[in-house]
Chain A
Amino acid sequence: MSEHSPYLLEARSLTRSFGRNVALSGLDLRLAPGHIVGLLGPNGSGKTTLMKLACGLIKPTAGEILIDGEKPGPESRSKVAYLPDTSYLNDNMRVSDIVEMYADFYADFDREAAFSLIRDLKVDEKARLSTLSKGTREKVQLVLVMSRRAKLYLLDEPIGGVDPAAREYIINTIIGNYHPESTVLISTHLIYDVEPVLDHVLFLKEGRIVMEGGVDELREQSGKSLDALFREVFRC
């Protein structure tokens, strides 16, 4: 089963449809370690579908997706830190309970780092999640994910719901906790905010990759910022 792969994430002709709606269509993708990759595309372009497939939360209609050379399963889950774009924690738990739970299950979780990030963000660790605002809850979820020493980080809209000041902190957190042997895949449509930290981008449109490359090369070739390029590619 386990074949050695130089790629942390590899998709081969990956296709996923929901009824008549095709979310991903024959996607080929390879992500090597050591990159911060932007997964950019408008709503409904297949960003979330790709991440859910990588975590095994949904299965491909055709083609396959491999994490470190293996199909998503219990083995791959210990290598992937996933931040979904929805609230996925039990509302009745307190912030500190959730941190302890993550420490319990993930061997690569840094408990002290998590509590220090929580204090930095001025989140009350004794508060129940149900009492927190949407943005605060998103911060807690991001702290949990970034406090792991995973190989692959999948961040689905990590800054979508938070204020601009916190955005900067979150992006710095992502960079600060990033280490060279891992790869971070960030999906977003808030390109302006993440542009400075990306070294590679994938433009996703209607389930296909329409543009891909190193950020510097793309900027040089087009003579535009990513943000401007994005507006051009996805003009309605």
Chain B
Amino acid sequence: MLGKLLKYEFRATARLFLPIYAAIAILAGLMLLLRALPDDARGVSFLTFMVGLIYVVAAFGLVITTVVVLVSRFYKNLLGQEGYLMFTLPVTTGQNILAKLIPAMCWTIGSSLLCFLVVILQNFFSGGAPIRIPNGETAGFILLMLLALAAFILFCYMCMAIGQTFNEHKFLASVGAFIIIQLVLQILGVAGAFGLFKLGALANLSFSVDNIPGWSVLAGANVAMLAACAVFFLITRWLLDKKLNLA
């Protein structure tokens, strides 16, 4: 069932993303073409500038579209009128959430890669540094980025799942939940770090960064991020299972 949900979700989102992707790919191609031309001609440099400008605007538009789509698909398709269909299909709530999360992650990754397409292509054509095979630490860092992305998306979902439990002003309540929980998490984070520091001072430990091996920090961060994903996912699922309140 998850496969079927994913099929329809990718279809529904592709019609928004693919045209922008195509436009950016064409712009990237144009820029490479223009750079290949001798740049002493004034017209060419002006054209390069214009195409570059449009590229930046398009890339910026893409980033905004990605964020708007990942929030609005969840809100509209699950918590709006379309939720009447999605929550009466014989699928589990977990599947419904994953069917939003996975495409949202794919499109975000795709959009990020596209924004750097010109840099990547130029590097490739100008015979620049060959693409390095990532070592363990780079791989760990990439994993952390992906987990952080998933955690952020799931955090947004959780806030919307909280907002929908209200009988009125659901979206406002979602935004309110986002701000308040972020604030609380920040305060807890600072307090926690401060507490650790104090504890360390009491125990007479030296908290020098040099003493901690890099890989353990990375591994710890990955585990913490994974835990955050799990917590946000489980809360969202519980809210949509037990506290669903479609308008």
Contacts and interface: CB of A to CB of B under 8 A. Distances in A.
Interface of A: 18-19, 52, 55-59, 73-75, 77-78, 80, 82, 84, 86-90, 92, 101, 104-106
B12 A90 contact: yes
A89 B82 CA distance: 6
Nearest to A107: B90
A77 B82 contact: no
Interface string B234-247: 00000001111110
A86 B88 CA distance: 14
B243 A80 contact: no
A87 B80 CA distance: 11
Given A84-B84, A90-B12, A101-B8, A78 B90 contact: yes
B244 A59 contact: yes
B167 A18 contact: yes
B57 interface: no
Contacts of B12: 90, 92
Contacts of A101: 8
Interface of B: 1, 4, 8, 12, 15, 77, 81-85, 87-93, 167-168, 241-246
B165 to A, nearest CB: 9
24 contacts: A19-B168, A55-B88, A57-B87, A57-B88, A57-B246, A58-B246, A59-B245, A73-B241, A74-B91, A74-B93, A75-B90, A77-B88, A77-B89, A77-B90, A78-B90, A80-B88, A82-B84, A84-B84, A86-B81, A87-B81, A92-B12, A101-B8, A105-B4, A105-B89
A78 B91 CA distance: 9
B246 A74 contact: no
Contacts of A104: 4
The 9 closest A-B pairs by CB, nearest first: A88-B84, A78-B90, A57-B246, A84-B84, A77-B90, A18-B167, A88-B81, A74-B92, A105-B89
Nearest to A84: B84
B90 A52 contact: no
Contacts of B85: 88-89
Contact of B82 (A55, A90, A105): A90
Given A58-B246, A106-B89, 8 more contacts: A57-B84, A57-B88, A59-B242, A59-B244, A84-B84, A88-B83, A89-B82, A90-B77
Contacts of A86: 81, 84
A55 B89 contact: no
Contacts of A89: 82, 85
A140 to B, nearest CB: 13
A92 B15 CA distance: 10
B245 A58 contact: yes
Nearest to B165: A59
Contacts of B91: 74, 105
A225 to B, nearest CB: 33
Nearest to A78: B90
B81 A57 contact: no
Max chain A Cβ within 10 angstroms of own Cβ: one of B12, B89, B90: B90
B225 to A, nearest CB: 29
Nearest to A144: B85
Given A92-B12, A104-B4, A52 B89 contact: no
B174 to A, nearest CB: 18
Contacts of B15: 92
B88 to A, nearest CB: 5
Max chain A Cβ within 10 angstroms of own Cβ: one of B91, B243, B246: B246
A56 B90 contact: no
A86 B85 CA distance: 11
A52 B82 CA distance: 14
Given A78-B90, A80-B88, A105 B245 contact: no
Max chain A Cβ within 10 angstroms of own Cβ: one of B15, B92, B244: B244
A196 B179 CA distance: 56
